[in-house]
Amino acid sequence: MREIVLDTETTGLDPDSGHRIVEIGAVELANHLPTGRTYHQYINPERGMPAEAYAVHGIGDEMLRDKPVFAAIAPAFLEFVGDAHLVIHNAAFDMAFLNAELTRAGHPPIPTERAIDTLALARSRFPGAQNSLDALCRRFGIDNSMRDLHGALLDARLLARVYLELIGGRQPGLVLDAAAADAPAARVGAEGAAWTPPPRPRPLPPRLTAAEARAHAEFIADFPETALWLKLGGG
């Protein structure tokens, strides 16, 4: 199974208001494991960068002036994505921008059902908790100290690690049956605490026979009182 973990940076919040994508970063997963293949592209938005957007990602007009427009990079982007599912944090936002750009460039939009929304997964697993990318990195012990500003490829790499934790760990495919596949999620508390087994309702029956117990008692009867065995509770 092939999946693409994807993030974008934009000039604003609404593609219907003329805002555009300025950066795409993507990481390929195969059977929930990173393959090492990535896609990264800065894009000339053909418009100015608002100050509030620049404060988020630090991508300015000068940096983007010589970058290709989206129509020029669309074929390579679509080739990389292929028919894989897209793993996105707050998928509705990025999908709206991607499909606006694809439509403008004369390409069909990507069906929304191909998107896996990690924000929805996190809200389902941790209801009422903070579920931003930074909050999820903290919850799962993922180092995001290099994330001073948003960056599409960096955020996609972090999100790939978060996604693998959300679905139950780095190798969920190693479970033996469908019931076990759901176990990792059930074994993590609301704050991410590790699951521990409850005590047995009835202790296991002893495996030592009465004859073996008598033979053991006879064996240690001749031990001196200073024997280490007796100090450790072996008698």
Q: What is the pLDDT of residues 124-172, one digit of tens each?
A: 999 999 999 999 999 999 998 887 667 899 999 999 999 999 998 654 4
Supply the pLDDT for residue 188: 38
Q: Is residue 135 in a domain?
A: yes
- What CATH number does residue 125 fall under? 3.30.420.10
Predicted confidence band at 213 (pLDDT cuts at 50, 70, 90)?
Answer: confident
How do residues 2-17 score in pLDDT, each as one tens digit? 999 999 999 999 999 9
Q: Is residue 221 in a domain?
A: no
Q: Is residue 15 in a domain?
A: yes
Q: Is residue 172 in a domain?
A: yes
pLDDT surpassing 50 at residue 40: yes
The Cα 235–Cα 97 span in angstroms is 73
Q: Is residue 174 in a domain?
A: yes
Phi, psi of 202 (to 5 degrees): -135, 130
Q: Is residue 70 in a domain?
A: yes
Predicted confidence band at 114 (pLDDT cuts at 50, 70, 90)?
Answer: very high
pLDDT surpassing 90 at residue 226: no
Supply the pLDDT for residue 150: 78
Going 100 to 97 to 151 to 49, the CA torsion angle's sign is positive
Would the pTM count as exceeding 0.85?
Answer: no
Query: Which of 133, 83, 141, 68 is closest to 113 using CA atoms?
Result: 83
Q: Is residue 235 in a domain?
A: no
pLDDT surpassing 80 at residue 47: yes
Supply the pLDDT for residue 178: 36
Query: Which of 163, 37, 39, 10 is closest to 98 using CA atoms?
Result: 10
- Domain, as residue range, for 64: 2-186
Structural domains of the chain, count: 1
Q: Is residue 36 in a domain?
A: yes
Indicate which residues carry an active-site annotation. Answer: 150
Instruction: List, in sequence order, every beta strand (DSSP E) within the chain.
Output: 2-10, 21-30, 33-42, 85-88, 115-117
Bridge partners, residue 5, by sequence: 27, 87
Query: Which of 72, 64, 58, 80 is closest to 105 using CA atoms?
Result: 72
pLDDT surpassing 50 at residue 23: yes
Instruction: Considering only CA atoms, give the Rg of the chain.
Output: 27
